[in-house]
């Protein structure tokens, strides 16, 4: 078990995907995503293994939740600055975590 104060250290924010391209050098099929988290945080890059679940067109302008305060990671030559959150499906795809009922501004924090 973790203490609630530990959970508060994980900074999860809402952003909009503004650019998508295939990550041709990744070992597993992936996209390079540019995500806009609003004026305070800015645009961040993520390498995300979403190719089997989403097309590039489906990802463009999609709202996603990502952890923004993890250490950046070099993924096959791409600096992945944020971790996009998703849930596994039974057929090993990823279902992105995203708001559905309200229009939430980029940069909003998930609690």
Domain positions in the chain: 11-99
Question: What pLDDT is stored for residue 101 in this prediction?
Answer: 87
Question: What pLDDT is stored for residue 15 in this prediction?
Answer: 98
Query: pTM of this prediction?
Result: 0.93
Q: What is the pLDDT of residues 58-87, one digit of tens each?
A: 999 999 999 999 999 999 999 999 999 999
Query: Does residue 109 have a pLDDT over 90?
Result: yes
DSSP alpha helix (H) spans, the chain? 4-8, 56-59
Q: What is the CATH number of domain 11-99?
A: 2.40.50.140
Query: Does residue 111 have a pLDDT over 90?
Result: no
How many CB atoms are located within 10 Å of the residue 87 CB? Answer: 9
CB distance 8 to 43 below 8 Å: no
When the pLDDT of each residue in the chain is averaged and rounded to a whole number, the result is: 95
């Amino acid at each position: 078990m973790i203490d609630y104060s530990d959970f508060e250290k994980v900074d999860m924010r809402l952003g909009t995907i503004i650019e998508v391209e295939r990550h041709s050098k990744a070992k597993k099929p992936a996209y390079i995503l540019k995500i806009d988290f609003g004026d305070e945080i800015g645009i961040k890059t993520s390498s995300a293994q979403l190719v089997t679940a989403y097309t590039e067109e489906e990802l463009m302008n999609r709202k996603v939740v990502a952890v923004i305060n993890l250490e950046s990671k070099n993924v096959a030559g791409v600096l992945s600055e944020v971790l996009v959150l998703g849930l596994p499906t039974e057929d090993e795809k990823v279902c992105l975590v995203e708001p559905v009922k309200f229009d939430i501004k980029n940069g909003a924090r998930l609690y």
